[in-house]
Chains A and B, each alone.
Chain A
Amino acid sequence: MSNHDNTPLSSAHHEEEDTPAVSSSKAGFLPIETNWFDRLFISVVIWVALSLLWFRFIEPMGLSIWISNAIALALAVLIISKG
């Protein structure tokens, strides 16, 4: 047990002002400040939405769902690295 861990949270009284816990926040091209978890979440949301729309409108035309997955993956990489 190092001494460091033993310090109770000093700002316990001000929970409203707490910064996000994952503190690698940075400003990317997204309109809000995000950490990597937020960006992963956004990517998953986009992936699901894209897949559902693809099933409904594009797959009947003969284009495979894998194309949509590839697009979603590319978007995810972009968002997580640059977002």
Chain B
Amino acid sequence: MKKNNPIIAIVFWSLVSFLTLFPIYWLFVISVKPAVQLFSTPDVILSDPYWGNYAKVWGDRLLRSYMVNSLVISTGNALLCTILGFFACYALSRFKMAGKESLFFWTITNRMAPPAVFLLPLFLLMTQVYAVGDFRLLDTRIGMILVYCTFNLPFAIWTLRPTLDGIPKELDEAAYVDGASSWKVITEIVFPLCRPGLAVTLILTWVFAWNEYLLAATLTNFNARTLTTGLSEYVTTTGTEWGIMATISVFTLIPALIVFGLVQKHIVAGLTFGAVKG
């Protein structure tokens, strides 16, 4: 291969990085401007930041409860999907069950369907059918945790399948010969070996659940509202408070960024959804 001038590459990539980062930077700039300054000439350089918006968002009890909801729902959902996905993949990779490859494919199709299509039936089912006495699944945290499984569980199965297929089944068999129970084999032998794959799955499903908006906006109205729906409330109802909106965006962005930093290397494999494999 021929030698390239690194300067050109660096200049080119600096430009691309600038284009990538600028919108995020601008979000931050808006969030630290008082409302009166917003409509003057847009300044690119940040001077004299104003933290009032942050204090306001942090001090808002409603928004704080949205944050708690978001945390509970995405954590609960990520744990549920990872554990169930792990069990499902163990079954798919170790047992010879009739039609399991078809089952695998049709499980994945759950994720392909546009969520907008399921808004109406889920809304109707959760208000009228999925109910015990007075308890309705609509607008509850547990309801949202279960609903998010429709897109996160197939994803977990998709990403965990290669991990489990990669663990030699001779290990299981050796343990069975030694007289271990199935439960023991799964939890004490297979589970620890899957840890890296499980961690990546857990974090990616967490980010997806954290980022979700459409279903949360439709299937909650007060008790289980999430941070992303809180964001849109500041646009549609109160004539748009730009600073607050930007601040909530920053609040929503930061956890995802932290999580991204943790698994930066592996996140790619998960996000590409197994596209390159094979």
Contact = CB atoms under 8 A, between A and B. Distances in A.
A13 B166 contact: yes
Interface string B78-111: 0000000000000001111011111100000000
What is the size category of the interface that chain A forms with chain B? 10 to 19
Given A15-B161, A15-B165, A16-B278, A9 B102 contact: no
Contact of A21 (B99, B168, B169): B99
Contacts of A5: 96
B2 interface: no
A13 B165 CA distance: 5
A22 B161 CA distance: 20
B250 to A, nearest CB: 42
B171 to A, nearest CB: 12
Interface in A1-59: 5, 7-9, 12-13, 15-16, 18, 20-22, 37
A5 B96 CA distance: 7
Contacts of B173: 8
B102 A7 contact: no
B277 interface: yes
Contacts of B172: 8
Contacts of B162: 15
Nearest to A35: B102
B99 A16 contact: no
B217 to A, nearest CB: 30
Contact of A12 (B102, B169, B277): B169
A21 B106 CA distance: 12
A21 B100 contact: yes
Given A8-B169, A12-B165, A22 B99 contact: yes
Given A12-B93, A15-B93, 16 more contacts: A5-B96, A8-B95, A9-B94, A9-B96, A12-B165, A13-B166, A15-B161, A15-B165, A16-B278, A20-B101, A21-B98, A21-B99, A21-B100, A21-B102, A22-B99, A22-B102
20 contacts: A5-B96, A8-B95, A8-B96, A8-B172, A8-B173, A9-B94, A12-B165, A12-B169, A13-B165, A15-B161, A15-B162, A15-B165, A16-B277, A20-B101, A20-B102, A21-B99, A21-B100, A21-B102, A22-B99, A37-B102
Interface of A: 5, 7-9, 12-13, 15-16, 18, 20-22, 37
